[in-house]
Amino acid sequence: MSATDRMLAPVFARLNMMAARGTVLAVDDAGGGQTMQLGLLAGETADGVERFQSYGVSSVPAAGSEVLVVFLGGNRDHGIVAAVNDRGVRPAGLRNGEVILYNDANVSLLLNADGELVIRAKRAIIEIEEDIAITAGQPVTVDADIECTGTITAKQVIETG
């Protein structure tokens, strides 16, 4: 080994330690930032690893989900989870431009390529603080029994022409 190789060996070792794949062992979602316990290299466990999430979207991945961890400066004591994936529940087959929000209970919101919002759920609960308005260019079809505990008021619209 040359003197240059010996001098650069620690640099290359740190570079090799800057990113890792692993699995989620546990998640702590109690505070302002989420932390995880991760299984990394054979026998390596990382505790209290911070997970960065995009503003407005938060999730708690299931144990066994895959992670990509970045270690600042190659220091294995300071990792940040950059991405989480669970191949077993991730919907596949989306078309270009489609976006889906989903979970492992088969609940999803799909913004599809046809301009539709497709909601799939066992049950939907909508809580509105003030009022709600629905404007549709076509008649609204409801294929369900409707139960109302309040008042239903019909407003007549007179078209002029």
Q: Is 113 left (phi over 0), alpha (psi -120 to 50) or beta?
A: alpha
pLDDT, position 15 = 76
Residue-wise pLDDT for 124-148, tens only, equals 999 999 998 888 898 889 999 989 8
- Helix (H) / strand (E) containing 120: strand 117-120
Residue 159 has pLDDT above 80, yes or no: no
Residue-wise pLDDT for 10-51, tens only, equals 777 777 778 999 999 999 999 889 999 999 988 889 999 999
Give 84's strand partners: 67
Residue 4 has pLDDT above 90, yes or no: no
pLDDT, position 161 = 63
Domain architecture of the chain: domains with CATH? 3-85 (2.40.50.230), 91-129 (no CATH)
Residue-wise pLDDT for 51-92, tens only, equals 999 999 999 999 999 999 999 888 888 899 999 999 999 999
**Residues whose CB falls within 8 Å of the CB of residue 149, separated by 6 or more in sequence, listed in order:** none
Residue-wise pLDDT for 92-128, tens only, equals 999 999 999 999 999 999 999 999 999 999 999 999 9
Taking the complete model, does pTM exceed 0.85, yes or no? Answer: no
DSSP result, 2-45: -HHHHHHHHHHHHHHTSEEEEEEEEEE-SSSSEEEEEE-STT-E
